[in-house]
Amino acid sequence: MIQVNDKHIRRQIDFGAYEKRVDEIHRSIEERTGAGADFLGWAHYPETYDKEELKRIKAAGKEIAENYEVLLVCGIGGSYLGARAAIEALNGLHNHKGPEIIYFGQTLSPTYVKQVLDYLEHKTFAINVISKSGTTTETAVAFRLARDLLERKIGKEKAAKAIYATTDKEKGALLQLCKKYGYERFVLPSDIGGRYSVFTAVGLLPMAAAGIDIDAFLAGAKKGMEKYGKAGLNPAYVYGIIRHELYKTGYPVEMLVTYEPGLVQLGEWWKQLFGESEGKDHTGLLPDAATFTTDLHSLGQFIQEGSPVLFETVLDIEKPAQDVVIPHDADDLDGLNYLEGKTLDFVNKKAHDGTLAAHEEVGNVPNVLITLERLDAEGLGELMYFFMRACAMSCYLNEVNPFNQPGVEVYKKNMFRLLGKPGYDK
């Protein structure tokens, strides 16, 4: 069970006062009656997912892993952040097993795009293009370029076999391409939005290709559903209440802190989940993320003594996936023999305790502690589900729709008009 500890938030919350409201919101999620209710498919997806499709996802993942040096994951926002977060969290940043995963379609930078295309000239590669709408400019342009390269390298017929598409079941430009060229197709259900889609083929296919145990990941999500989809003040709802209280009492910024570089992309996923869900009607917490101790040597000064705008949510992993012991050195010129025989986890945890005391007691920064026992595929599935439930609760407590993103359309419309896209001349 994920633990949420509110002992370091520098205030007492009357959780009882929230019980009725939380219960109403919980029922509105379960009965699909709240704002954005058409996009609640994720809430029970760990149970309702298409079992036949899961078999195809596993087979496609195996096929990719066995036949290609690189998998190009072509998607943006919710169409790639979950997969990337999971792959980096579970496989680490220097993984030598399985195909190399390259993320594409998440930028319009000509430099990045050209660098990737040049790199792929000398590699065998498959593409997983992921877009619910099929019309997202970044992804569509990148896919056109990558497909063109692939077809030039291996011919149209073989290229079609190396392209896997994840898109809406019934509509969209990508669906038309699948039908015309016969790409293997996976579904992002119409009642699940991108940032809530990590348990669908959107997250699972790249993860399967990367060798991750997606059965365990889904089992974790299901455990999450049972624990955090339960009525009452479950830990996800408690976290939602704490966020709401801290926001109301003068903290507009939440910083997600981890002590694991492999979780940087989880922070990106979390930022999108909460930022895009909650930042509406000129309300909501600004989500930020930092990795300690790395960022203690950059942002640490601001957190300790800068403007008092933020609280920290520290994600603690009780047992690290791996550990090392600090060796003896006969000369001890670096003066580290006092740590001889200690594990690095021991040192990391002491850094954690010292930082908590510094930030909370001296810096007056509220700290919410979230503890996950183990960061494996199952634990991560549970954690991601936990955050999704907490996010829905937070948004409804703030009276905003957790599942739309009307603000994102503004830049798109301007860009389309400036690019001369038909239909966007005004």
Query: Could you tell me how many residues of this chain bind ligand PA5 (CB under 6 A)?
Result: 14
- For ligand PA5, give the closer residue by CB, 56 or 412: 412
Closer CB to ligand PA5, residue 139 or residue 291?
Answer: 139
Task: Name residues contacting ligand PA5, limited to 165-194 (CB under 6 A).
Answer: 193-194
Among candidate residues 123, 230, 349, 412, the one labeled active-site is 412
Is residue 297 part of the annotated active site? The answer reads yes
Residue 71 or residue 391: which is nearer to ligand PA5 going by CB? 391
30 is catalytic: no
Query: Residue 402 interacts with ligand PA5 (CB under 6 A)?
Result: no
371: Cβ contacts below 8 Å, ≥ 6 apart: 2, 3, 5, 316, 317, 318
Using rule CB under 6 A, residue 195 touches ligand PA5 = yes
Q: Which is nearer to ligand PA5, 9 or 391 (CB)?
A: 391
82 binds ligand PA5 per the rule CB under 6 A: no
412 catalytic? Reply is yes
Note whether 131 binds ligand PA5 by CB under 6 A: yes
Using rule CB under 6 A, residue 132 touches ligand PA5: yes
CB of 72 to ligand PA5, least distance (A): 15
CB of 306 to ligand PA5, least distance (A): 30
User: Applying CB under 6 A, which part among 73-81, 260-268, 295-303, 382-390 lies near ligand PA5?
Assistant: 73-81
Q: Is residue 136 close enough to count as binding ligand PA5 by CB under 6 A?
A: yes
What's the maximum distance between 2 C-alpha atoms anywhere in the chain? 74
Which of 315, 352, 293 shows the shortest CA–CA distance to 239? 315
Contact region with ligand PA5 (CB under 6 A), list: 19-27, 42-50, 128-136, 253-261: 128-136
Q: Write out the residues near ligand PA5 by the rule CB under 6 A.
A: 76-79, 131-133, 136, 139, 193-195, 276, 405
Return the active site residues: 276, 297, 412
